[in-house]
Structure 1
Amino acid sequence: MVRSLDGLVMAPVEDQSPGQVGTRTRFTYHERDGRIWAGYAGGDIVHGHLVGTREGDRLDFRYVQLKTDGTTSGGHCVSAVVALPDGRVRLEETWEWESQPGSGTSVVEQTAS
């Protein structure tokens, strides 16, 4: 199992479509006793929050965000936690909106310290 996500700062490796998270978005993760949560902001996202659980190297969480255009959106995501050869952590994500149509995959990685 990959180490704790607590205190890790993560960033997407590529931009999604406008109004979603992108390479300028930063997530700050917290983890305790199988629970995870994070705040995120940057790019088109003013404020975002996610909450969920971790079982082994699998995350299951819901997210909600406020965008720069004043709209809100939310959804569900399942992520695989992967250790990179350089010691950083990657999350390989499969997500779906619950507030609007759409789904997809994305990758976020721990930023260099």
Structure 2
Amino acid sequence: MARSLDGLVLAPVADQAPGQVGTRTRFTYHEKDGEIWADYTGGDVVRGHLVGTRRGDRLDFRYVQLKRDGTTSSGHCVSQVVESADGRVRLEETWEWESQAGSGTSVVEQVERGPDGD
């Protein structure tokens, strides 16, 4: 099993569709006893939260977010935790909106926190 996600900051490696999570979005993960949760913000997302479980290297969670245009959306995601060649954590994700049409895949990778916390 890959190392704990607790305290790690991850970011998408590519932008999704406009109005969604993108390369400027930062996810701050927490993990304890098989539970995972994260807060995220950046780009078109004002505030987002995810909560779910981890079994081995598989994450299963629901997410909800508030976008800059004032709309909210929610969905479900299953992720595989892998370690990149340089030792960073990488999540390979398959997601589906539950509040609107759409589904896809994405990748988020561990990044270093900036001096101002982002």
- Structure 2 distance, partners of 1:89, 1:14, is 16
Seq. identity, %: 81
Any stretches of 5+ residues in structure 2 without a counterpart?
114-118
Which residue of structure 2 aligns with residue 90 of structure 1? 90
What are the equivalent positions in structure 2 for 1:17-96 lying under 5 Å apart?
Answer: 17-96=17-96
Structure 1 stretches lacking a partner, 5+ long: none
Q: CA deviation at 1:40?
A: 0.1
CA-to-aligned-CA distance 1:6-43 (integer Å, 9 cap, x gap): 00000000000011100000000000000000000000
Aligned length: 113
> Per-residue deviation at 1:112?
3.3
Amino acid at match of 2:5: L
**Counterpart of 1:4 in 2: which secondary structure?**
coil
Cα distance in 1 for residues equivalent to 2:45 and 2:80: 23
**Per-residue CA distance 1:32-79 (angstroms, 9 max, x = gap):** 000000000000000000000000000000000000000000000000
What is aligned with 2:110? Answer: 110
Normalising by structure 1, we get a TM-score of: 0.98
CA RMSD of aligned residues (A): 0.7
Equivalent position of 2:2 in the other structure: 2
